[in-house]
């Protein structure tokens, strides 16, 4: 092999290395967008209304599925569980929680969250478990929680809520 062939072989290897690196980084960024930009944005909006050291991992250095308290589905990489009970959360619950369309489990119990419970929770048709007890939520229990047709457990005790739990919760349609 002469020196010209050696240089061209070396150049080809470098070229292929950069092509593979480019394709890998493109795949990673695409999979992040697929796995889901709406959930990512919604979680950041939730964080923006809450103060707690527990949410320091909620930043762009990790995929949101790796954030503390967040669990995503194995295949779709959408948020299915948000478990932040007893984390010293203060502030209010963002209406953007209603954009987590694959959410099945939401537990924010035993914190210091206040304000009203967002009406947007009613958009979570996959929600099965909702734990908001032992906070400082006030106002009326949102009637449209009854739109959470898969809701099995609802815990709202030890808040400053008024009204009653909508009759439709737990009943099956005729």
Lay out the sheet containing 105-107: strands in order across.
70-72, 79-83, 105-107, 129-131, 153-155
Q: Is residue 97 part of a domain?
A: yes
Q: Are residues 55 and 29 located together in one domain of the fold? A: no
Task: Give the pairing of strands 50-51 and 90-92.
Answer: antiparallel
Residue 28 falls inside a structural domain: yes
Q: Tell whether 82 is covered by a domain.
A: yes
Here the CATH number for the domain that contains residue 85 is 3.80.10.10
Domain residues for 2?
Answer: 1-34
User: What pLDDT is stored for residue 29 in this prediction?
Assistant: 40
pLDDT of the residue at 67 = 97
Number of domains in the chain: 2
Would residue 51 count as lying in a domain? yes
Residue 172 lies inside a defined structural domain of this protein: no
The answer to whether the CB of 121 falls within 8 A of the CB of 148 is yes
Q: What pTM, to 2 d.p., does this model score?
A: 0.78
* 71 and 151 inside one domain: yes
Report residue 26 as tokens.
């493109």
State pLDDT tens for residues 27-59.
Answer: 344 344 444 899 999 999 999 999 999 999 999
């Amino acid at each position: 092999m002469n020196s010209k062939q050696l240089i061209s072989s070396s150049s080809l290897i470098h070229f292929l290395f950069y092509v593979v690196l480019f394709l890998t980084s493109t795949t990673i960024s695409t999979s992040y967008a697929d796995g889901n930009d709406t959930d990512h944005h919604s979680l950041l909006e939730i964080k923006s209304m809450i103060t707690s050291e527990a949410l320091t991992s909620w930043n762009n250095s990790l995929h949101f599925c790796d954030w503390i308290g967040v669990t995503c589905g194995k295949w779709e990489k959408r948020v299915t569980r948000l478990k932040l009970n007893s984390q010293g959360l203060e502030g209010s619950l963002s209406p953007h929680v209603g954009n987590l369309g694959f959410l099945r489990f939401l537990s924010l119990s035993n914190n210091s969250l206040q304000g009203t419970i967002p009406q947007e929770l009613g958009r979570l048709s996959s929600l099965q478990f909702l734990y908001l007890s032992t906070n400082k939520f006030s106002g009326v229990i949102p009637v449209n929680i009854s739109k959470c047709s898969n809701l099995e457990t609802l815990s709202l005790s030890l808040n400053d809520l008024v009204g009653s739990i909508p009759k439709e919760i737990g009943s099956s349609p005729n």
